[in-house]
Amino acid sequence: MTPERFPVRRLVRFLIRYEGRAMLSLWFWAIRRRHGVGPGDVAVGYAREQRPIILVFLFVSIVEALVFFILVPWPVAHLVLLVVDVQTTEMILAILAAQATRPHVVSESELRIRNGAVFDLRVPRASIVSARVARRWDHERTLSVANGEMALALSHQTNVLVQLSEPVTVHGWRGPRGEARTLRIYADDPQAMVDALTATDPDESRPASNRAPARSTATPAATRTAAAGLSGSE
């Protein structure tokens, strides 16, 4: 295997996987479901600040295509532009769908850190030592691994710091990027993620509206006795 071919192969495999995940995200988006979020799991988004920029880009690309159709009279050019514009629109919608349907997920067994259809890291809950809100705005790359620390940033910033008892292997499209005991990630609601990671009772990590209703511990006999007592007091 030559050094020149290795990245190309990795890139092709990554693009195939990405396309499959992106199409699946569009389907989940259409049926209003989220990928990998089970009952009782806490889902935390991360793309709220980026979404308006993507929507503006989508609007501009559509307007640009309409202007081109009006100004350019050649049918062949219209056909080529139509194909390109449809593909561009599909890509932008896939990005929005992946961000909406693939949030960070805190379950009883793991923390799942994601970035759309591009990145997915599973961290066992048993290896998490601590989690706290910690903001940084100086990240140069979206994903970086150095000196035992991983940073998955949005717009150069992270706001949640997770410490592990043992390192996890972080993968990029080129393959393993390195191991990390410290994880810095971005969340739309960092406090909600920290609360979910540090809660001892699974219900404590969810809003009251999402908690399972409490079950009654009264026996049928006790219920009948209480009902009889109410009837006798009337």
CB 105 within 8 A of CB 37: yes
Give me the chain's average pLDDT, please.
Answer: 84
pLDDT of 10: 79
How does pLDDT run across 165-192, given as a tens digit for each residue?
Answer: 999 999 987 777 899 999 999 999 999 9
CB neighbour class for 119 (10 Å; exposed up to 12, middle 13-18, buried from 19): middle
